[in-house]
Amino acid sequence: MQRNDYQYAQAKLDQLKGEYQVDILADWGHGNPDPDEWRPGTWTKAELDRLHSTLCLVSDLMGGNEKFVRNLGGVTVRKADIGSHGGEALSHRVSFSTRRTFSAWTVVHEFAHAWDANHGWRLSRQLERFTGGYTSPLLALTKRLLGLADCGRFGPEKNPGRYGRRPGCNKAGYFYGDRPSGSNWNFNRLEDFAEAVAMYVGWGRDNELSQHAHNRVIRYQLPDLEKDPFNVVDRWTYYSRHFYPENGDYTKTKRWQFVDDLVCGRLQVS
């Protein structure tokens, strides 16, 4: 943060607090005891703006600020050294990496985790059930050992078609149901929920997440071994039956329906 953005940043912090009960742990500011000294911290003005505009999107889809606050129950946001992750979330707390900036997609993803956490991680369990998925590490291991998985016996391999994307072919033994927009070795019901919310916010709209959401789906129409918009090479035609939605329309998936029901209050939240 630059010194002459100080006032702007303070106003933004007040706004985030007032509208969404979101507190930013500011790491910038004037020195103490020397107020002429300036600590720039790791946040930028653009990041505060991105955070705010992204929360506006989410809040609008939820039906307004009050609903957002009820769903999330107040969140503190900080920058921290969290290793190779871009973000992390617990109930009432979201962390972004100090190593690189965050995208609007990451904001929605992490706030979705915080939303799930605020409900005892039951939203992702509901999503798992709603989409017909289940978690069974034992069955997953058995399939791997029998050579029935699209990965190696002990984990993913660095080859197209062997990264571990099919149902159950992940660390958690998560057999996702219906069609998520993608899956990898770290996929589980928590990640599924967070990604489903981000897809819902972006899909078929005209916002910061829309291109990303679109790219997630169109890659399954690429020829095999071609690079997708995320620079990944894979066997796209092979995976299309797991991930490509009916007629390429993501709103036809159970995940889209689940998040739509959730934000529109049609689902009983336990």
Return the HEC string of the chain: CCHHHHHHHHHHHHHHHHHHCEEECCCCEECCCCCCCEECCCCCHHHHHHHHHHHHHHHHHHCCHHHHHHHHCCEEEEEECCCCCCEEEECCEEEEECCCCCCHHHHHHHHHHHHHHHCCCHHHHHHHHHCCCEECHHHHHHHHHCCCCCCCCCCCCCCCCCCCCCCCCCCCCEECCCCCCCCCCCCCHHHHHHHHHHHHHHCCCCCCCHHHHHHHHHHHHCCCCCECCCCCECCHHHHHHHHCCHHHCHHHCHHHHHHHHHHCCCCCCC
Residue 194 binds to Zn ion (criterion: CB under 5 A): yes
Q: Which stretch binds Zn ion (CB under 5 A): 126-134, 157-165, 171-179, 190-198?
A: 190-198
Residue 172 binds to Zn ion (criterion: CB under 5 A): no
Least distance from C-beta 59 to Zn ion, angstroms? 20
Q: Name the residue nearer to Zn ion (CB basis): 62 or 194.
A: 194
Q: Which stretch binds Zn ion (CB under 5 A): 30-38, 45-53, 184-192, 235-243?
A: 184-192
Residue 107 binds to Zn ion (criterion: CB under 5 A): no
In the numeric block, the tokens 């985030």 are attached to 16
Q: Name the residue nearer to Zn ion (CB basis): 1 or 209.
A: 209
Q: Which of 137, 241, 263, 151 is nearest to 196 (CA)?
A: 263
Q: Which stretch binds Zn ion (CB under 5 A): 39-47, 192-200, 204-212, 221-229?
A: 192-200
CB-closest chain residue to Zn ion: 194
Q: Name the residue nearer to Zn ion (CB basis): 191 or 234.
A: 191
Least distance from C-beta 113 to Zn ion, angstroms? 6
Least distance from C-beta 195 to Zn ion, angstroms? 8
Q: How many angstroms separate the CA atoms of 156 and 139, rounded?
A: 17
Least distance from C-beta 122 to Zn ion, angstroms? 17
Q: Name the residue nearer to Zn ion (CB basis): 77 or 194.
A: 194
Q: Which stretch binds Zn ion (CB under 5 A): 43-51, 124-132, 183-191, 247-255?
A: 183-191
Least distance from C-beta 188 to Zn ion, angstroms? 9
Least distance from C-beta 135 to Zn ion, angstroms? 16
Q: For Zn ion, how many residues bind (rule: CB under 5 A)?
A: 2
Contacts to Zn ion by CB under 5 A: 191, 194
